[in-house]
Structure 1
Amino acid sequence: MFFEILKNLRKKFKRLYITMFKNYIIFVFLMLLVLSGTIGFMIFSIGKMVSSEDYIKDTQKFFMASKIVKSDYKKIDASKIVASKGWVEILNSNKKVIYVIGTKKDKVTSYTENELLNFMDLSYNNLKSGTSYFYSVTAFNSNGEDLYCIVKVPPGIVTLNVDIAPSPDKYIKKAAIYILVGIFIIIVFLTVSVFLYAYLTTKKVVMPLKKILQGIKRMTEEDYSTRINFNAENKFGEIRDAFNFMAEKIEASIFERNRMENLKQQLLSDISHDLKTPLTSIMGYSKALNDGVVENDKKIKQYLNIIYNKSKRTVSLIENLHEFTKLDNSKFLISKEECDFCEFVREIVSEYYNEFEEKNFELEINLPEDEIIYEFDKVEMERAISNIISNILKYNEVGTKAKIELTYDNSKIQLIIADDGVGIDESLKENIFEPFVRGDKSRYTKGGTGLGLSIANKIVQKHGGTLTLEKCKKYKTVFRLKL
């Protein structure tokens, strides 16, 4: 059994290793997911920064008409242009100036088609140093009307090298900070995760394994009281529970084996004692008769009567011992048949009725009128019930109150045999169904073999039932037979 459990443990460990490997793969996958997610977040953040309004305002030409124009041209933000001594002109569809933002420094009030086309065709690199103003033109629509927006800035304010090719240094720094922060977060997360994974692995794998191995080592040293204890809800929890269950079973088995060994020794001792006493008497009285020591006919008859009674007790002891060993054999099978259990009990009680009257017992009998059909061995069950009733009659004083009650409920049969007589010592109640255990010291001299209740208990167990000794306020001794 022990080696089989170890084999099962090895199988569970193998499954555990596979599980740990799968967990490791999942862990690596999650780490890659976090890494790619962080990098994606950084790219997204930088892209968002590049497409932000502030970035556009800083990197695009503040004097480009296409960047500042609005359908409601009166709300155009031209503060930087005005601060640069430039101005904004709004033309109608006839190319005439209808609105000006800032201080107009030329006298042009209208433009020709060619002039506008020329302005639009101008590129930054084609500007000439002798140009009076830098022009930027775009067409737009306002309330269904086609208009034009012209931005004019003095060439002394707008320089080609600086303003036309904006420097994004501060945004490069921002992007670098985003990247460094992302890398730092990844490194910290990876470091913490690795340490956390190592800690959890140690806590959930190494420590349970260490305790399990320590427990196995103590078990191999025959310390069967060993139990392992750690918190786990995975396979280790199952292994812990299986180990503790195994240790408990082995400890109980060892205890039971030792108990049975002691019982066996006690059994042999009791058998020798119980057989020796009557046989010694038989030998003594028979020798006296054989030697002619007793000549009185009355005395001879007395001796013969003693020899007969001692022989009868010896035969009874041997019969009970044979019955006990027969029932103790696992191969012994009882012979069951369906009968009315109620009528069966009634017949047994009727056989003892005269004895109850002779001892003036106050007997209470409660047996149902209806049939209780049950499959049982009539011979063995009669022996079991008779042994209990015989004990009540044999060991209690005259005038004892007794009760025999049979009940049937939810497919369960209960037979109660109780009395308020001398009772049974508290120290013996736990072992009362063991062989050669007697309820009180006086029973050694009253003809009891100490096997009656043990035989009764084994018969009931053979029927799949239980026989227990209980106590209540009204009765000192209550035997409850459940089937």
Structure 2
Amino acid sequence: MFFNRLRKKFKRLYITMFKNYIVFMFLVLLVLLGSICFVIFTIGKMITSEEYVKDTQKFFMASKIVKDDYKKIDASKIIKSNGWVEILDSNKKIIYVIGTKKDKSASYTEDELLHFMDLSYNNLKSDTSYFYSVAPFNSNEKKFYCIVKVPPGIVKLNVDIAPSPDKYIEKAAIYILVAILVIIVFLITSVFLYAYLTTKKVVMPLKKILQGIKRMTEEDYSTRINFNAENEFAEIRDAFNFMAEKIETSKAERNRMEILKQQLLSDISHDLKTPLTSIMGYSKALRDDVVKDDEKIKQYLNTIYNKSKRTVSLIENLHEFTKLDNNGFLINKENWDFCEFVRKIVSEYYNEFEEKCFQIEINLPEHEIMYKFDKLEMERAISNIISNVLKYNKFETKVKIELTCNNYEIELIIADDGIGIDEGLKGNIFEPFSRGDKSRYTKGGTGLGLSIASKIVQKHGGSLTLESCKEYKTMFKLKFEK
């Protein structure tokens, strides 16, 4: 449970947006650092290359500064670095020095010159006393040698005094430009990607919700939306589906009630038409003196009375039904002994039970069961059920009336093992004008008794259900919370 709540919390939209933002910033920093490292690495590699060193330090190379007129050689930077220039004749003897000579060499052998020429740039990294650079040249058709000597480390320390060649500046600028372009392209791509991923989390659920709303406006109440999203949209999805289900159920109920209303009007007109037609026929016969026999006249009047009684009963039940169906109608509850109340009702039907030879089993507690209810309405509800038991069952039917009570509820059972009720009718037996058997059309039933009983019980906050068991085919169970 804890982990589920934690998972739901971290699936909030703002958490997802924050995580996307963190990933986005991490990638930006990663590329930025990568680009900076690339620029530093490429420029570092360039300036430490042998070509670059040679190019930027060419003023230390004898071949770069030598001139035919060796007295005009510019050795100012070499001298500034505590070095000097020596000019040798064809016999390898020093004939001219530019700068302050720091060693005592007066001449060199062929092998020494070859060694200096071979070491050239590598002497920069060696442990020798000086960096040597040798270049032969001709002047006035005579051969000479130019030797540059610089203390070790001077060349490396004084790189900054050498002007950087334009081609290396251009290369460095290209590297920097490429890195900037990579960063810009990545940033633009990342922004679009971040915007896409972020809007996808919002736009997709909104599209689904709008599509659902559109179908709902077209009265397609079976519409349901389904998508995976963060909790905010998931809650909207669930609320929408719940609303759609409620509307669909409400519409189905309205349609059912409309059909029921039409059926109700049809049944009312039918149930009123039959007795009224009989009354009209018999009364016309009496008015026109068609019947002369006193016994026949009495029979006709008796029929008119019974039909009128049935019509009045139907109208009274219809009035009671519409009254109970009105939400504004309030019942008058008072505190009464429910056990004594049921005992009184049953006693009123005792003679009718005996006339039909019913085998009746009555189980009522001896102690009081105090409950707040409307005596008039509750009597009508229980009487309607007992009347049905008497009216539509055959002689010697077994009947059970049992009242039980505990700390939470009161339960009244009225059961019989008579003709029973068809399975197909049990689901709507409490609807108005529902009839448990076909004979009810001819036995004077109005079809409103059980519907009225159900509404009265509901007005008391209870429930009326139809059940069955092995011993009894039909069992009405009334339950009331204490």
Q: Which of 375, 381, 386 does residue 378 from structure 2 map onto?
A: 381
Indicate the residue corresponding to 1:155 in structure 2. 129
1 or 2 for the larger relative contact order (CA 8 Å, sep ≥6)? Answer: 2
> How far apart in 2 are the matches of 1:161 and 1:407?
120
Residue type of the partner of 1:440? D
Contact 1:436 1:450 in 2 (8 A): yes
> How far apart in 2 are the matches of 1:318 and 1:431?
22
Indicate how the Cα distance of structure 1 residues 446 and 188 shifts in structure 2: closer, same or farther if over 3 A, else same.
Answer: same
> How far apart in 1 are the matches of 2:340 and 2:427?
32
Contact 2:17 2:198 in 1 (8 A): no
Indicate the residue corresponding to 2:208 in structure 1. 211
Q: How many residues align?
A: 369
Q: Which of 255, 259, 281 does residue 256 from structure 2 map onto?
A: 259
Check if 1:277 corresponds to 2:274.
yes
Deviations 1:171-200 (A, max 9, x none): xxxxxx9xx999979977985685365135
> How far apart in 2 are the matches of 1:129 and 1:482?
126
Indicate how the Cα distance of structure 1 residues 375 and 269 shifts in structure 2: closer, same or farther if over 3 A, else same.
Answer: same
Deviations 1:222-277 (A, max 9, x none): 22222222222432222222222222222222222222222222212111111111
After TM superposition, give the deviation of residue 157 of structure 1 in Å: 9.2
Indicate the residue corresponding to 1:195 in structure 2. 193
Counterparts of 1:450-469 in structure 2, within 5 Å, are 450-469=447-466
Deviations 1:58-97 (A, max 9, x none): xxxxxxxxxxxxxxxxxxxxxxxxxxxxxxxxxxxxxxxx
Indicate how the Cα distance of structure 1 residues 37 and 368 shifts in structure 2: closer, same or farther if over 3 A, else same.
Answer: farther
Indicate how the Cα distance of structure 1 residues 396 and 164 shifts in structure 2: closer, same or farther if over 3 A, else same.
Answer: farther
Structure 2 unaligned segments of length 5 or more: list them.
Answer: 1-11, 41-80, 84-99, 105-126, 133-148, 160-174
Check if 1:475 corresponds to 2:472.
yes
TM-score w.r.t. length of structure 2: 0.65
Check if 1:328 corresponds to 2:343.
no
Name the SS of the counterpart of 1:431 in structure 2.
Answer: coil
Contact 1:416 1:480 in 2 (8 A): yes
Q: Which of 271, 281, 296 does residue 293 from structure 2 map onto?
A: 296
Counterparts of 1:89-238 in structure 2, within 5 Å, are 155=129, 191=189, 194-195=192-193, 198-199=196-197, 201-202=199-200, 204-238=201-235
> How far apart in 2 are the matches of 1:309 and 1:190?
94
The structure with the largest alpha-carbon Rg is 2
Indicate the residue corresponding to 1:420 in structure 2. 417
> How far apart in 1 are the matches of 2:28 and 2:407?
67
Question: Percent same amino acid at aligned positions?
Answer: 68
Contact 2:131 2:150 in 1 (8 A): no
Indicate how the Cα distance of structure 1 residues 131 and 331 shifts in structure 2: closer, same or farther if over 3 A, else same.
Answer: same
After TM superposition, give the deviation of residue 472 of structure 1 in Å: 2.1
Indicate the residue corresponding to 1:103 in structure 2. none
Deviations 1:102-129 (A, max 9, x none): xxxxxxxxxxxxxxxxxxxxxxx88998
Indicate how the Cα distance of structure 1 residues 288 and 233 shifts in structure 2: closer, same or farther if over 3 A, else same.
Answer: same
Indicate how the Cα distance of structure 1 residues 161 and 368 shifts in structure 2: closer, same or farther if over 3 A, else same.
Answer: farther
Indicate the residue corresponding to 2:309 in structure 1. 312
Deviations 1:25-79 (A, max 9, x none): 88557644654577679999999xxxxxxxxxxxxxxxxxxxxxxxxxxxxxxxx
Residue type of the partner of 2:225? I
Indicate the residue corresponding to 1:408 in structure 2. 405
Structure 1 unaligned segments of length 5 or more: list them.
Answer: 1-18, 48-124, 133-152, 168-176
Name the SS of the counterpart of 2:427 in structure 1.
Answer: helix
Contact 1:317 1:449 in 2 (8 A): yes
> How far apart in 2 are the matches of 1:31 and 1:165?
47
> How far apart in 1 are the matches of 2:403 and 2:131?
119
TM-score w.r.t. length of structure 1: 0.65
